[in-house]
Structure 1
C-alpha cells in the first residue's frame, strides 16, 4: 500500500514539481493546497493523508497554525515541515506545533524520501538537528511504558528554569535578563545541559523537554 501524501505550499511551481517527483517514486499524492485553510477544506475523513508536507510561510493560515490544528483535530496525520528556514526559532516552533520532522527545501531528493519513510514508519525524522543519543532515546522510549533513564532527569531547579525558557522564542540574552543572570552564566547553563544530556543544539533541548513532559507542545 502506497503512502498517502498531501502538499501545502504557496509556491505553485515548486509544489507541482514536488508532487510529480513523489508520484514518480510511488507516493500517492492526494491533493495540493496553497495554504492551511485550503488544506483543511480538502481533507476527506474517509481518505486522510498519512503525511502532510508543510511549508511554513503561507498566506491566510501558515504552517505553524495548520500543524497545530492537525495535531488537535487529526492526530493520525503526521506533518513533515519542508521549509527554506534553517534557523532554530522556526524549527523549534514547528516541533512545538506538532511537526514530526523538519527538512530544508534545498535537500536532496534522497533525503526527502528518507524523511518521509522515517516519519511514516517510525513517527519522527530529525536528521542532523539533534544528536544520535536523543534519536535513540525517542526511538526506544516513545509510545511505551518504559521510563526514561534516571540520569536524564538529574537537572537542578535553575537548569529546569533555563530549559523551559530555552523552549520559548526568547534569545539567550533575553533569557539572561529574565533570569537576572549574565549572558556568560546562561552560556554555562546551555553548555552544561548539552554535555549532561548529550545534545548538540537548542532544538535538541526542546525535543528533550517535550519528550519528558517539561513543556507541552
Structure 2
C-alpha cells in the first residue's frame, strides 16, 4: 500500500538536532516534504504560509522566545488543522500531560528510532494520533491520580473531621461529643463513608486517611 504524502515543519532551537532529524526523515520515507525549519514559535509564526500549511509540525518544548507549550496553544487558536507531534528530551509527567491537554497528536523522545518516527507520522495522518506505551502509561497514571483527588474533593468538612477523629483512640461516642452531634449522626457519617470510600471497617478508614494525607503518622 502506497504511503500518504505528508508535509511537515520542524520547530526546534538546536540546529544540529534538526539536521539529524532531517536525515532520519529521509531514511524513513521519501513521501515526506519538509516545508520549513524554525528555531522557536515566533519564527514558526513568520514562516507559516496560510496557502501551504504543513500537515504536521514536529515540535520541541524548551525553546527561547516562545516555547513548545506557547507555540502549540497559538497553533490551536490560529491553525487548529495543523497536527503537532512533540519530539523532545523532556519526559517528566507534568510536561507530557500538559502537552496532551493541549491536544498534541503524539509525543516522542529525541532518541526515537527511524522506524518509529515514520510510524508516528503515518499514524497521525491516518488515525489522528500516535501514543507510545510510555506516554499511555503516564496518561493512565495521571487519570488515576485525578480520580483520587476528585474523591478527596467530594469529602465535606464534617466527613474529613470524622475520618481524622476515627484515626484516633476515641470511641464513636467520644467522636460524637467532639463534633457536637448525636451518636446516631456519627453512625450515619460512618456508614456513608464506608460506602463512599469502599471500605468495610474503621481500619479501612484509617488506611484511606493515611494514603491520601488526611492524617499524618
Q: TM-score, length-normalised on structure 2?
A: 0.61
Pick closer, same or farther for the CA change 1:156–1:106 going to 2, 3 Å: closer
Pick closer, same or farther for the CA change 1:46–1:105 going to 2, 3 Å: same
Pick closer, same or farther for the CA change 1:96–1:160 going to 2, 3 Å: farther
Q: Indicate if the aligned counterparts of 1:68 and 1:98 stay in contact, CA closer than 8 A.
A: no
Q: How does 1:39-54 map to 2 (within 5 A)?
A: 39-54=44-59
| Counterpart residue number, 1:75 | 80
Aligned counterparts of 2:125 and 2:17: Cα–Cα separation in 1: 23
Q: TM-score, length-normalised on structure 1?
A: 0.61
TM-superposition CA deviations, 1:18-37 (whole Å, max 9, x none): 12332442210000000000
CA RMSD of aligned residues (A): 2.4
Question: Per-residue deviation at 1:120?
Answer: 1.2
| Counterpart residue number, 1:192 | none
| Counterpart residue number, 2:119 | 114
TM-superposition CA deviations, 1:161-210 (whole Å, max 9, x none): 59xxxxxxxxxxxxxxxxxx956127xxxxxxxxxxxxxxxxxxxxxxxx
Partner of 2:84, secondary structure, is strand
Pair member with larger Rg: 2
Pick closer, same or farther for the CA change 1:56–1:182 going to 2, 3 Å: farther
Aligned counterparts of 1:72 and 1:85: Cα–Cα separation in 2: 24
Q: Which runs of 4+ in 1 moved over 6 A?
A: none
Structure 1 gap segments, 5+ residues each: 135-154, 163-180, 187-217
Q: How does 1:1-217 map to 2 (within 5 A)?
A: 2-24=5-27, 25-26=29-30, 27-128=32-133, 129-130=135-136, 158-159=150-151, 161=153, 184-185=211-212
Pick closer, same or farther for the CA change 1:64–1:182 going to 2, 3 Å: farther
Aligned counterparts of 1:156 and 1:108: Cα–Cα separation in 2: 36
Q: Indicate if the aligned counterparts of 1:56 and 1:63 stay in contact, CA closer than 8 A.
A: yes
Question: Per-residue deviation at 1:86?
Answer: 1.2
Structure 2 gap segments, 5+ residues each: 141-146, 155-207
Aligned counterparts of 1:28 and 1:9: Cα–Cα separation in 2: 17
